[in-house]
Structure 1
């Protein structure tokens, strides 16, 4: 069965809009778990504009499901500019301190609003490989954020990754516009087939929602996990959190 990992970034973004601890991040993680979530995902960026360093430690201390931490492994330490918010220690230092079940490496930059591309391992493979090796030596399953390009995905296996996370923005955009959705989905099917042939597990995420998820989950072979935050949070405003998670699990075929 395909696991649903709920990304809590948008919950943290609401909290950070005020000087408050409401909404409480661990409490909402537990609400997700109680509603049937299979995992929890966070993406702590160095400016800590949503998930903060302390959130990661708080979640690690209470989670009873898999914890997935995403981020750019090349990001170093940063001083916090907000009173009461601890400094960012650097992504790799944070992950090594927490040792989550899974770490998803993402090549995002500081100025990006959100992740918008996968790794180019022809260019960065030599830098990524030792980071993957270090994480795996700590018992952390390691996934690389990748575009649906079979040649690049085969390189992900060569640098030692356990899994890839397919960046699904192009699929979501095609579904929304109604243009060439079949052709775009076929690209993801071929990418997943290449991953399976290379011995890689397959995750997916970015703009997956209740409308486009059922077909993706049904047709992409070997899919193990989806990470969903933005759309799920928006749906929860309308439907309630428990009903929303149940709907996403149903969309995954459960």
Structure 2
């Protein structure tokens, strides 16, 4: 069995829990199941309105991993606002993914536009690295993006795979979008960056991506994983996604 690439995003678990003033489904409980089943770690995106993940979830997950799963990783995803950076400083996740989201966005749906002012982003990267947190930047599938990320001091990029995932019923278009993802991954590798990928990845569309870019080190999966877990359960879905990645 090879090391896992799978980081399970549990935002949807928190969203379901928040429909009631009750503690279930448990974000930490299901995260523990995922990690016990072989997931590399857990990803969460705490938004300012706490419509799914709450700040308390972040602290609880950080404590869970520190105490019970010290070989696993917590990744915090978010816009580098002062409040978010304070959370990163306090929780000290293994990795932070900076995304250019407006607070009202439903989900991360585009990467950083590096031709705009990135001074605030550069300051956030410096701060996170001072806290010994690995920094990843969310990038569109654009081979020119990784060089900008490297210049800013990031250690990894996460390629936005939404356009590729949206082609589930159009094989020809999927091939074109896959080419963009792979070209971006190769450009990042050539810049010395670690390569992550995430958004709308499934057990069906992961194998072609891994075949062409086997050096991808992490895949953050939430929506597709949760949809799978409703049928197969959390533990079996971890195994299904890891099989799709060629790990078991």
CA–CA distance in structure 1, aligned partners of residues 37 and 156 of structure 2: 26
TM-score (norm 1): 0.91
* Structure 1: 5+ residue stretches without partners: 77-89
Kept in 2: contact 1:72–1:107 (CA 8 A): yes
Q: CA deviation at 1:127?
A: 2.2
Q: CA deviation at 1:146?
A: 0.4
Number of aligned pairs? 240
For residue 43 of structure 1, what is the aligned residue in structure 2?
Answer: 45
TM-score (norm 2): 0.94
Q: CA RMSD in A?
A: 1.2
Which string of whole-angstrom CA distances, capped at 9 and with x for unpartnered residues, describes residues 121-177 of structure 1?
121322211111110111000000000112222100000000000000111112333
Q: Pairwise mapping of residues 36-115 of structure 1 onto structure 2 (< 5 A)?
A: 36-63=38-65, 64=69, 65-74=72-81, 76=82, 90-115=83-108
3-state SS, counterpart of residue 196 of structure 2: strand
For residue 185 of structure 2, what is the aligned residue in structure 1?
Answer: 192
CA–CA distance in structure 1, aligned partners of residues 145 and 203 of structure 2: 29
Q: Pairwise mapping of residues 170-249 of structure 1 onto structure 2 (< 5 A)?
A: 170-249=163-242
3-state SS, counterpart of residue 94 of structure 1: helix
Q: CA deviation at 1:221?
A: 4.7
CA–CA distance in structure 1, aligned partners of residues 182 and 8 of structure 2: 23
Of 131, 135, 148, which residue of structure 1 is paired with 2:128?
135
CA–CA distance in structure 1, aligned partners of residues 185 and 230 of structure 2: 33
